[in-house]
């Protein structure tokens, strides 16, 4: 890293931070390669954070290739910035790369291609592309297509937070394997999040998350409400194809991550342990295809604004899941299920996945009761006749 020490202020793309190395264990790149091999033996796939929109202001490239950078009217290199509400945040430790209009653009793009080829050959399984929307979509298409000729299994994930949905769609169309969605900020009111989902779903699956290194810790946001934290993770895990969480989420860590200041010594005393619950969410994702696809999502009215309800379908319509969330963290809530058969399935053919306990409902299945901050997941797969999926009565109409 550069002078600031930020993980996103890259000084030399081919160097490894000395703090991560054993001085007696051989060359840095060899140590990195051994780490990647060890991870694979443990069943882990490792992704690299690919930062090509900017470098540290003291990067080796500043002297080697000054023509690769953006300059303002005064001839000074441009620092990247972003809006946080009415406030403009400028990262003075960074300088922007001119990936679109550099006079040496061809060599610049070849440099990035050499970089991803190098780390793919070293053993990285993919790239989380930082601030992807600030990089020309054409460059991403070039890198993705070229690398996948030699490494077809390498993943490219677009970090697309903070940009208009139109730019996220452009990234999805550029060939990314995944984009990020903004469901973390959805309060389960309105349709904007589903509308965004529907815009990107035809092009690329998306990743949800309950918190990230760019947000407050969820345990802090929710005042240490364990049930509400569980609920948000369940939603993130089942809403979209992918799910992500930072280290410490499972233990209810409160201290916000910082890309400059966070150190191993910042490990906290666990407030709780959600590992079993998280494993249950992942087990459901692995078992039922509907949770691993960006299939259609339909919002339902259940006669109670304190209850969120939606039906998610697999792309072929064979699987459906009903997701019920009690938005009220203090009191149980009742919801109307009487019209469920028209959009979901007859009650006798529904499986309760019991992620957070079974749904309490009346014998006629017309009314359900959710506990505070509760989450209930009901699953249905259409029966098959003669090798074909039999439609429900509502689909025959």
Residue 248 lies in a domain: yes
**Are both 23 and 161 inside the same structural domain?**
yes
Please say which residue of 273, 292, 311 terminates a domain: 292
Whether 185 and 81 map to the same domain: the answer is yes
Does one domain contain both 209 and 310? Answer: no
Task: Give yes or no: residues 218 and 324 share one domain.
Answer: no
Judge contact between 357 and 373, C-beta under 8 A: no
pLDDT tens track for 218-259? 999 999 999 999 999 999 999 999 999 999 999 999 999 998
In a domain? residue 369 = yes
Residue 7 lies in a domain: no
> pTM for this one?
0.91
Same-domain pairing of 305 and 173: no
Cβ-Cβ contacts under 8 Å for 264 (sequence gap 6 or more)? none
Asked whether residue 324 is domain-assigned, the answer is yes
pLDDT at 392: 40
Check whether residue 230 and residue 91 sit in a common domain.
Answer: yes
**What is the maximum alpha-carbon separation in the chain?**
75
Beta strand spans in 210-306 (E): 242-243, 297-299
List C-alpha distances in Å: 224 to 219, 230, 242, 274: 5, 11, 25, 13
Domain membership of residue 317 (yes or no) is: yes
Q: Which range marks the domain in which residue 331 is found?
A: 297-396
What is the pLDDT at residue 6? 84
- For residues 271 and 372, membership in a common domain is answered with no
> How distant, in Å, are the alpha carbons of 87, 221, 386, 392 from that of 320?
43, 32, 21, 11
Among 138, 144, 175, 181, residue whose Cα is nearest residue 163: 181
Between the alpha carbon of residue 59 and those of residues 2, 28, 52, 97, 278, the distances in Å are 7, 19, 12, 11, 40
**CA gap 65, 294 in Å, rounded:** 42
Give yes or no: residues 125 and 265 share one domain.
yes
Please give the tally of structural domains in the chain. Answer: 2
The verdict on 122 and 220 lying in the same domain is: yes
Residue 62: predicted pLDDT: 97
Looking at the fold, whether 277 and 308 belong to one and the same domain comes out as no
Residues 276, 142, single domain; the answer is yes
DSSP 201: T
Query: Would residue 165 count as lying in a domain?
Result: yes
Last residue of a domain, one of 255, 272, 292: 292
Q: Which residues of the chain have pLDDT under 70?
A: 3, 84-85, 345-348, 383-397
């Amino acid at each position: 890293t550069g002078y600031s020490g930020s993980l996103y202020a890259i000084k030399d793309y081919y160097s490894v931070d000395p703090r991560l190395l054993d001085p007696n264990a051989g060359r840095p790149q060899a140590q990195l390669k051994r780490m990647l091999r060890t991870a694979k033996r443990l069943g882990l796939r490792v992704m690299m954070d690919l930062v090509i929109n900017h470098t540290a202001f003291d990067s080796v490239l500043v002297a080697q290739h000054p023509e690769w950078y953006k300059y303002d009217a005064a001839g000074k290199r441009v620092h990247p910035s972003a809006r946080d509400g009415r406030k403009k945040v400028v990262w003075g430790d960074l300088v922007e790369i001119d990936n679109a209009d550099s006079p040496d653009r061809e060599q610049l793009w070849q440099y990035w291609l050499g970089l991803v080829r190098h780390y793919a050959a070293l053993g990285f399984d993919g790239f989380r592309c930082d601030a992807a929307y600030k990089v020309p979509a054409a460059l991403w298409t070039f890198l993705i297509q070229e690398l996948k000729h030699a490494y077809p299994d390498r993943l490219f994930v677009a970090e697309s937070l903070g940009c208009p949905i139109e730019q996220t769609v452009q990234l999805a169309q550029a060939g990314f394997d995944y984009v990020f969605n903004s469901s973390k900020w959805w309060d389960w009111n309105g349709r904007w999040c589903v509308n965004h989902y529907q815009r990107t779903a035809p092009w690329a699956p998306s990743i949800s998350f309950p918190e990230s290194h760019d947000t407050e810790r969820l345990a802090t946001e929710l005042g240490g409400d364990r049930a509400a934290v569980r609920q948000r993770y369940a939603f993130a895990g089942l809403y979209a194809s992918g799910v992500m969480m930072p280290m410490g989420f499972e233990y209810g860590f409160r201290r916000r991550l910082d890309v400059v200041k966070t150190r191993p010594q910042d490990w906290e005393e666990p407030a709780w342990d959600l590992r079993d619950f998280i494993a249950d969410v992942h087990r459901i994702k692995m078992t039922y295809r509907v949770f691993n696809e960006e299939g259609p999502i339909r919002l339902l009215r259940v006669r109670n604004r304190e209850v969120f309800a939606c039906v998610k379908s697999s792309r072929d319509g064979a699987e459906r899941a009903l997701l019920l969330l009690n938005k009220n963290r203090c009191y149980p809530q009742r919801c109307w299920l009487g019209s469920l058969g028209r959009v979901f399935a007859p009650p006798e053919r529904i499986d309760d996945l019991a992620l957070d306990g079974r749904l309490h409902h009346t014998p006629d299945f017309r009314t359900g009761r959710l506990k505070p901050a509760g989450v209930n997941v009901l699953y249905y797969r259409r029966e098959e006749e003669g090798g074909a999926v039999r439609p429900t009565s509502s689909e025959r109409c």
